[in-house]
């Protein structure tokens, strides 16, 4: 007889709180992988083919740790598939093979994918995958799980936005982070009711706003583009947003769980058309992953008056490598500095901070000279 499955899903930033609620409402047990650390990274890297991209190795390490520590449980590993011609398409079969070769047989991989045209094929395929993922449930239970998880994702993103807005303005260093941690935990453990999540969000935003700070500051603005998983997972991007905020920058991330999901599932066609229009002459065709978004969002950041852009690029990511070359031209044509940062298991904290500081200093200097009478034209800053 098959054992009751426990779910594991890729840990990505703070969104895990919402995914836990989703599976719990459906009546399943969940084990959330720990944030990345040197042990899980080592496990993932040493068991992955060398040429695979960094996120593959990170997630393999996370899954492997949970399976090895819980040999008496049977797991459903939630993975994504079919998003483009990059290495994404290999994730599930490769995980399966590597884990089985390591003697781990207490799992199956269930894939989630978006709704792709033609709709008459895409919609039934989406629901078939969904039923395989979570089984049959009363429609009300399924809708409730989606709605609550959606609200929790939204609430967490609002709190994160507030965190990065207030850090460079706070009067007592660390006071906003303290307020954020409390707010996040309240949302994480909020009763699974929309009204409760809304109420806690309103209370906690107000509480964060009451942290002593100076609102009226014109800070340099830096936008973050790049591969979605690395952008959204603070434990793997070395908390780039928080670091920039503490350096006195208004930081904005282009991809969040909400807009990423909406653009790929609900408004995919509109999103692709918009991207082709903005990227005309640079990258107006799909290359997989988020490479096209990186180019589009850099142009949009310039149009919104941002002072610089940082591209977060996992080592071995083909779409972001292609985007990086194009960003060099975008940077020159649109007169916006772009710094490309590549991440792998060897990326060290000290060198990373030095590069961020140098970029921020340059952005501040440039903003200062622009606000004066001297108008300087900067050159692109694309790192290798």
Q: Which residues bind ligand SF4 (CB under 6 A)?
A: 53, 55, 86-88, 227, 288-289, 314, 317-320
Q: Which single residue brings its beta carbon nearest to ligand SF4?
A: 289
Shortest approach of ligand SF4 to residue 326 CB, angstroms?
Answer: 15
Shortest approach of ligand SF4 to residue 193 CB, angstroms?
Answer: 35
Q: Which residues of 280-305 are buried (b: 16+ CB within 10 A; e: fewer)?
A: eebbeeebbbbbbbbbbbbbbbbeee
End-to-end Cα, the chain, rounded Å? 54
| Nearer of residues 115 and 318 to ligand SF4, judged by Cβ | 318
Helix pair angle (16-25, 139-166), 10° resolution: 160
Strand order in the sheet with 107-112: 29-30, 5-8, 74-80, 107-112
| Nearer of residues 26 and 80 to ligand SF4, judged by Cβ | 80
Shortest approach of ligand SF4 to residue 57 CB, angstroms?
Answer: 10
Shortest approach of ligand SF4 to residue 340 CB, angstroms?
Answer: 14
The region that residue 311 occupies, defined by phi over 0 for left and psi between -120 and 50 for alpha, beta otherwise, is beta
Alpha carbons 312 and 355: distance in angstroms, whole number: 13
| Nearer of residues 20 and 233 to ligand SF4, judged by Cβ | 233
| Nearer of residues 155 and 312 to ligand SF4, judged by Cβ | 312
Shortest approach of ligand SF4 to residue 203 CB, angstroms?
Answer: 37
For the chain, helix, strand, coil in percent to 5 are: 55, 10, 35
Alpha carbons 320 and 55: distance in angstroms, whole number: 13
| Nearer of residues 109 and 363 to ligand SF4, judged by Cβ | 109
Helix (H) / strand (E) containing 74: strand 74-80
| Nearer of residues 86 and 187 to ligand SF4, judged by Cβ | 86
Shortest approach of ligand SF4 to residue 225 CB, angstroms?
Answer: 13
């Amino acid at each position: 007889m098959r054992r009751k499955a426990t779910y594991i899903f890729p840990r990505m930033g703070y969104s895990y709180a919402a995914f836990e609620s989703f599976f719990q409402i459906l009546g399943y047990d969940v084990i959330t992988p720990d944030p990345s650390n040197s042990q899980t990274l080592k496990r993932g890297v040493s068991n992955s083919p060398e040429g695979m991209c960094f996120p593959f190795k990170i997630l393999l390490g996370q899954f492997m740790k949970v399976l090895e520590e819980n040999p008496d449980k049977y797991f459903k590993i939630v993975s994504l598939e079919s998003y483009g011609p990059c290495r994404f398409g290999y994730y599930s079969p490769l995980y399966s093979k590597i884990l089985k070769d390591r003697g781990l047989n207490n799992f199956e991989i269930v894939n989630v994918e978006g709704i792709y045209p033609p709709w008459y094929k895409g919609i039934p395929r989406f629901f078939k995958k969904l039923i395989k993922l979570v089984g049959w449930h009363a429609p009300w239970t399924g809708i409730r799980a989606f709605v609550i998880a959606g609200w929790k994702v939204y609430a967490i993103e609002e709190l994160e936005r507030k965190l990065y807005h207030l850090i460079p303005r706070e009067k007592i260093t660390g006071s906003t982070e303290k307020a954020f941690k409390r707010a996040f935990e309240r949302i994480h453990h909020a009763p699974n009711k929309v009204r409760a999540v809304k109420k806690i969000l309103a209370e906690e935003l107000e509480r964060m706003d009451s942290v002593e700070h100076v609102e009226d500051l014109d800070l340099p603005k830096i936008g973050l583009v790049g591969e979605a998983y690395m952008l959204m997972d603070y434990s793997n991007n070395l908390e780039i947003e928080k670091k920039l905020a503490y350096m006195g920058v208004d930081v904005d991330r282009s991809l969040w769980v909400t807009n990423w999901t909406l653009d790929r599932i609900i408004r995919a066609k509109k999103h692709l058309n918009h991207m082709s229009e903005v990227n005309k002459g640079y990258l107006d065709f799909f290359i997989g992953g988020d490479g096209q978004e990186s180019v589009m969002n850099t142009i949009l950041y310039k149009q919104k008056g941002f002072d610089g852009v940082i591209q977060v690029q996992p080592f071995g990511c083909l779409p972001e490598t292609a985007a990086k070359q194009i960003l060099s031209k975008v940077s020159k044509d649109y007169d916006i500095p772009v710094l490309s940062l590549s991440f792998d298991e060897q990326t060290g904290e000290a060198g990373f901070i030095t590069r961020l500081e140098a970029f921020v200093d340059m952005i501040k200097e440039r903003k200062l000279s622009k606000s004066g009478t001297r108008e300087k034209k900067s050159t692109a800053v694309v790192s290798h």
